[in-house]
Chains A and B, each alone.
Chain A
Amino acid sequence: MKKSFWFFVAIIVIVVFAAPVSAISDSQKNNIMENCESIKDTLKTIQHQDSRTRVYLGRYYETILSKYITPLNVRLVENNILNNDLIENQDSFSKMRNSFIIDFIEYQRRLDELVAMDCKSSPESFYNKLVKVRERRKVVESDTSVMKELMKSQLTLVKELKGKL
């Protein structure tokens, strides 16, 4: 009797936890199907705006690295001034810039796939893909925050260096 009770409980648990959990509500599903075209138009606009932001930010990052951070370190070496913090900052900035480039491409690829999906016939897959795109966008956003911090720390380090001279 006891055995059959626990067997029954185990079956219930398996059914509850093994069943695919739909992250999408009926109203979301209906909205996706009804507004499919406008959602895609919005996504394309976002894609264009992101491309513009990427180009501009990329240009600024490149300028800061090649016209400010690297030349300063070269000049410091020439003047026999050793500043490990500035060298480390250059290294971090360069690595982070590369991550930003790679993460943006990955994000855009996923966004491309999302735009190409048929949201009318498979709203659930569309929404799941959207969730993945959001995750990738968050990574790119985080990259830009780190870049901003590294730029500011460059400024702080140079001001500190001036104080030591």
Chain B
Amino acid sequence: MTPGGRKLVVLGIASVIIALLTTSVSLALYHNSGDIYLDRSRPGYLPDEEEIEQDDDIKDEYTFNKSGSINGAVLDEYVEHLEQEIEAVEAYKNPFGADVLSDENLGI
């Protein structure tokens, strides 16, 4: 093997080792940070069609302005929008309820 060829092989091996190392570090960070549990692009975690349609329906882009005067009308508008958000949260009836992991539900 010529000196040039040897260098090329060394370069190839070094590249593979660096790629493996950086990928391992990335995966470790991805897992340890907990991002893995929020990543819905994982196989089996992809949103279903019904869910995508629901997402499209969300149009409320209300943000309470940080500046301006404070009066009854402003607070009424605030309350109205906040009530809608709370209603949306309350639509999740008993999130993380204990029944789901009960012996009966698991067939134990």
Chain A residues in the interface with B (C-beta under 8 A): 28, 31-32, 35, 38-39, 42-44, 46, 48, 50-58, 60-61, 63-64, 67-68, 71-72, 74-76, 78-79, 81, 101, 104-105, 107-109, 127, 130, 133-134, 137-138, 140-141, 144, 147-148, 151-152, 154-155, 158-159, 161-162, 165
Give chain B's interface residue range (CB within 8 Å of chain A).
Answer: 35 or more
User: Which residues in B have their C-beta under 8 angstroms from that of A48?
Assistant: 44-45
Cross-chain contact of A104 among B37, B72, B75, B82 (Cβ < 8 A): B37
A129 to B99, CA, bound (A): 17
User: Which residues in B have their C-beta under 8 angstroms from that of A161?
Assistant: 75
Give the residue name and chain of the A residue nearest to B85 (CB): A64
Chain B residues in the interface with A (C-beta under 8 A): 34, 37-38, 40, 44-45, 47, 51, 62-72, 75-76, 78-79, 81-83, 85-86, 88-90, 92, 94-98, 100-101, 103, 105-108
- What's the dominant secondary structure at chain A's contact region? helix
Number of A-B contacts (CB under 8 A): 137
CB distance from A154 to the nearest CB of B (A): 7
User: Which residues in A have their C-beta under 8 angstroms from that of B47?
Assistant: 52
User: Which residues in B have their C-beta under 8 angstroms from that of A64?
Assistant: 82, 85-86
Whether B37 lies near A35 (C-beta < 8 A) is: no
Give the residue name and chain of the A residue nearest to B42 (CB): A51
CB distance from A139 to the nearest CB of B (A): 9
User: Which residues in B have their C-beta under 8 angstroms from that of A31?
Assistant: 107-108
User: Which residues in A have their C-beta under 8 angstroms from that of B96?
Assistant: 50, 53, 107, 137, 140-141, 144
**Which 4 interchain pairs have the tightest Cβ spacing?**
A105-B34, A141-B96, A108-B37, A71-B64
Give the residue name and chain of the A residue nearest to B34 (CB): A105
CB within 8 Å for A75 and B82 given contacts A39-B108, A130-B101:
no
User: Which residues in B have their C-beta under 8 angstroms from that of A39?
Assistant: 106-108
Give the residue name and chain of the B residue nearest to A123 (CB): B108
Give the residue name and chain of the A residue nearest to B40 (CB): A55
User: Which residues in A have their C-beta under 8 angstroms from that of B106?
Assistant: 35, 39, 42-43, 130
